[in-house]
Chains A and B, each alone.
Chain A
């Protein structure tokens, strides 16, 4: 089993040339997922290089200097087509808006990555349907993005990001276009579902509440990392579990109602609400165990209910349906 570890070494990037050159990243080094899945927020003022860092880490743009190493492989040594396939197979993406294909119904939007990976249409749609059901969108499989609310569209985007069983999910202002309560619900779902799948989450945000929901915050200013450390929640979870990185501690912190704003119960609770149950093996959420429930392996969806409920994340998702 490969470790979902992402290393960035001394990343530098500049837009423009000569006198008009604007540095976006300057000597940025960091590691994500060293000790298992984690939720990392990247914060900073506008123009600090947050989105550039996200794009570089995800292999969307190549840095001017430095290296990004994913599972031991340097992205710079890969051809463009290989990086494209890597993004499809290993990464998931959730952006502020406009990421879903407007002509495709929700189920086809979610099934698309699996079909692109060579999966059959039937299998891809079965997995997509199961995942959308789990995310509370069972009645909206055939709706097109334009027929969904902002929160519902973001949940479809989360499903699409996770359907390929990624090792890491990149999110760029995922709640930026949503109202506060819907944004909280979406963020809770994003963190919970991502960590529940054994993947790390890297989220670019301006919103301190979004950052507080993560286990670690990296702050950028003028393209440089000015701080990198656990959030209050991350520190709490870390001390509770006695582990270095508070992995998966967010997985069960969203109130069940928060995941289903369409039910008329908008989430008003803080994301810092105490976890309903202690997260076993918080530092290492047993990726294999979660992978068994990932949509890329539809068979385990039929696993006995008690097996799924034993997992707090599964219980939370189950409750959110």
Chain B
């Protein structure tokens, strides 16, 4: 109870900060994306249950909708995590001061969690309104030969409540996990000593998924149903999250070894230091791009004007678009949080004479490197896996071009969003001037 009172007292004293607003925006986008995806799933369910569509194709499309939702959920989770990190970033000093003043670890944890949950609740409300606002726009998209209706896209109230509860729960869990990592002591935030090591089991996990895909889908050694193939493709796509950080870390290490400019060296070392964090920013987009690569096969393989293949292509474009928006918001939020997290480093660099453009370039390259490696790698894996059908694929240039353009667009939007963190660099680096 003391923690709640203390939290309320400090909230009144300091008022909302820019980081609180950014954090709430991140939660809002996460909620809106989740509700939009659930709305889509609901629409396909309603159509199937009301007999508006053929039961066979209807259930297949519903499976695909679940797959798309599954592909996007990690992005929602990562975005919520980044929002929490941002919420806590500027609290480190205050939390340490409270510990010094005698607050227990439990009280400090409770206050940080209250901060995160309060921002999540604000974000959930804004996100729900955002989801309602975009629903008429989504309703204009045609699936299964007809546009959605707004009613189809609005899931039952319990789904909305569950989605809101899930976002708040993510905030709660992520806040607790973040606090465990930063380990606030009375003397401040503990420094991480060594780079995060990644287990080589990741390679085995990814290899296993690829092997299963090749045996069951490419070589067709064991006959399986289409639904099983789809699920298998989803597993391959999601397992990219296992190998992605490892690949990014390896390439960043090579880049650091050969870096000639200080900005590249700094960026590469930071990526080597936190490959999972780097992958998280680009992971959703990489996974969407890979899924889009598979989905772009559908129109090419279709005989004549097959509505199902068109639906798959549209679904792929939608998935990449949503992942792109989430990825862009994530990049902006995560980079802002990183700049704030690294404020002491930026201040030290400013004092020792590091130019602001060098610091900004390092921030941009910190995103560009994993973006190119992550998304490029995802596209390469997709190309490799659809190699047996590459001729058909090339004969359908429209879907290929759409896929490529969506991927390039998503990358550009992400870089643009990451650039939003750049003005913070000057503010943070020159902050000591007043100290």
Q: How far is the CB of B303 from chain A (nearest CB, A)?
A: 54
Give the residues in chain B near A144, CB-CB below 8 Å.
193-195
Q: Mark A78-90, 1 if CB is under 8 A from B, else 0.
A: 0001001111110
Contact among B193, B266, B435 with A147 in the assembled complex (CB-CB below 8 Å)? B193
Give the residues in chain B near A115, CB-CB below 8 Å.
260-262, 265
Contact residues of B between 184 and 216, Cβ < 8 Å to A: 191-195
Take A15-B434, A101-B345, A108-B265 as given contacts and tell me if A93 and B260 are in contact as well, using a CB distance cutoff of 8 Å. Answer: no
Contact among B266, B344, B433 with A104 in the assembled complex (CB-CB below 8 Å)? B266
The number of chain B residues touching the other chain, given as a range, is 20 to 34
Contact among B193, B270, B272, B353 with A88 in the assembled complex (CB-CB below 8 Å)? B353
Contact residues of A between 90 and 123, Cβ < 8 Å to B: 91, 93, 95, 98-104, 108, 112-113, 115-116, 120-121
Contact residues of B between 259 and 289, Cβ < 8 Å to A: 259-262, 265-266, 269-270, 272-273
A289 to B152, CA, bound (A): 84
Whether B351 is near chain A, meaning CB under 8 Å from some CB there, is yes
A172 to B364, CA, bound (A): 32
Pull 16 A–B residue pairs with CB atoms less than 8 Å apart, ordered by A. A58-B351, A60-B351, A84-B355, A88-B352, A93-B352, A99-B352, A100-B348, A101-B348, A101-B349, A102-B191, A102-B192, A103-B273, A116-B358, A121-B260, A146-B192, A147-B193
Take A61-B433, A95-B348 as given contacts and tell me if A116 and B355 are in contact as well, using a CB distance cutoff of 8 Å. Answer: yes
A81 to B269, CA, bound (A): 25
A29 to B194, CA, bound (A): 45
A15 to B433, CA, bound (A): 10
Give the residues in chain B near A113, CB-CB below 8 Å.
352-353
Inter-chain CB contacts under 8 Å: number: 87
Give the residues in chain B near A89, CB-CB below 8 Å.
353
Give the residues in chain A near B193, CB-CB below 8 Å.
144, 146-147
Q: Would you call B355 and A102 a contact (CB within 8 A)? A: no
Q: Would you call A85 and B194 a contact (CB within 8 A)? A: no
Take A85-B353, A146-B193 as given contacts and tell me if A99 and B348 are in contact as well, using a CB distance cutoff of 8 Å. Answer: yes
A321 to B287, CA, bound (A): 52
A93 to B434, CA, bound (A): 18
* A residues contacting the other copy or chain, number (CB 8 A): 35
B188, closest chain A residue (CB): A98
Q: How far is the CB of A49 from chain B (nearest CB, A)?
A: 13
Complex A-B, nearest 5 residue pairs according to Cβ-Cβ distance, in ascending order: A88-B353, A87-B353, A146-B193, A103-B269, A103-B273
Q: How far is the CB of A24 from chain B (nearest CB, A)?
A: 11
A160 to B354, CA, bound (A): 13
Q: How far is the CB of B186 from chain A (nearest CB, A)?
A: 15
Give the residues in chain A near B355, CB-CB below 8 Å.
81, 84-85, 116
B357, closest chain A residue (CB): A81
Take A98-B348, A102-B345 as given contacts and tell me if A55 and B191 are in contact as well, using a CB distance cutoff of 8 Å. Answer: no
Q: How far is the CB of B275 from chain A (nearest CB, A)?
A: 12
A29 to B349, CA, bound (A): 28
Give the residues in chain B near A61, CB-CB below 8 Å.
433
Q: Mark B327-339, 1 if CB is under 8 A from A, else 0.
A: 0000000000000
A112 to B433, CA, bound (A): 23
Chain A: interface secondary structure?
helix
Whether B183 is near chain A, meaning CB under 8 Å from some CB there, is no
A104 to B195, CA, bound (A): 10
Whether B350 is near chain A, meaning CB under 8 Å from some CB there, is yes
Q: Show the binding face of A for B, using Cβ within 8 Å.
A: 15, 51, 55, 58, 60-61, 81, 84-89, 91, 93, 95, 98-104, 108, 112-113, 115-116, 120-121, 144-147, 160
Whether B432 is near chain A, meaning CB under 8 Å from some CB there, is yes
Give the residues in chain A near B265, CB-CB below 8 Å.
104, 108, 112, 115, 121
A100 to B261, CA, bound (A): 18
Q: Would you call B260 and A87 a contact (CB within 8 A)? A: no
Q: How far is the CB of A61 from chain B (nearest CB, A)?
A: 4
A98, closest chain B residue (CB): B344
A315 to B270, CA, bound (A): 38
A27 to B217, CA, bound (A): 81
A89 to B355, CA, bound (A): 12
A99 to B348, CA, bound (A): 5
Q: How far is the CB of B274 from chain A (nearest CB, A)?
A: 9
A104 to B349, CA, bound (A): 13
Q: How far is the CB of B106 from chain A (nearest CB, A)?
A: 27
Give the residues in chain A near B345, CB-CB below 8 Å.
98, 101-102
A116, closest chain B residue (CB): B262
A112 to B345, CA, bound (A): 13
A46 to B260, CA, bound (A): 43
A85, closest chain B residue (CB): B353
Give the residues in chain A near B272, CB-CB below 8 Å.
103
B192, closest chain A residue (CB): A146
A99 to B345, CA, bound (A): 7
Q: How far is the CB of B316 from chain A (nearest CB, A)?
A: 37
Q: How far is the CB of A196 from chain B (nearest CB, A)?
A: 20
Give the residues in chain A near B261, CB-CB below 8 Å.
115
A60 to B433, CA, bound (A): 7
Take A121-B259, A144-B193, A146-B191 as given contacts and tell me if A160 and B352 are in contact as well, using a CB distance cutoff of 8 Å. Answer: yes
Give the residues in chain B near A98, CB-CB below 8 Å.
344-345, 348
Q: Would you call A60 and B273 a contact (CB within 8 A)? A: no
Q: How far is the CB of B72 from chain A (nearest CB, A)?
A: 31
A51 to B192, CA, bound (A): 28
Give the residues in chain B near A85, CB-CB below 8 Å.
353, 355
Q: Would you call A93 and B262 a contact (CB within 8 A)? A: no
A81 to B435, CA, bound (A): 21
Contact among B269, B270, B353, B434 with A84 in the assembled complex (CB-CB below 8 Å)? B353
Q: Mark B117-146, 1 if CB is under 8 A from A, else 0.
A: 000000000000000000000000000000
Q: How far is the CB of B429 from chain A (nearest CB, A)?
A: 10
Give the residues in chain A near B354, CB-CB below 8 Å.
84, 88, 112, 116
Give the residues in chain B near A15, CB-CB below 8 Å.
434
A60 to B272, CA, bound (A): 31
Take A115-B262, A116-B358, A146-B193 as given contacts and tell me if A104 and B269 are in contact as well, using a CB distance cutoff of 8 Å. Answer: yes
Give the residues in chain B near A121, CB-CB below 8 Å.
259-260, 265
Contact residues of B between 358 and 387, Cβ < 8 Å to A: 358
Sample of 8 more A-B contacts, CB < 8 Å, known A55-B433, A88-B354, A144-B193: A87-B353, A89-B353, A98-B345, A100-B348, A101-B266, A102-B273, A108-B269, A116-B262
A86, closest chain B residue (CB): B353
Q: Would you call A120 and B273 a contact (CB within 8 A)? A: no
Give the residues in chain B near A95, CB-CB below 8 Å.
348, 351
A89, closest chain B residue (CB): B353
A15 to B265, CA, bound (A): 37
Give the residues in chain B near A81, CB-CB below 8 Å.
355
A146 to B434, CA, bound (A): 28
Give the residues in chain B near A60, CB-CB below 8 Å.
350-351, 432-433
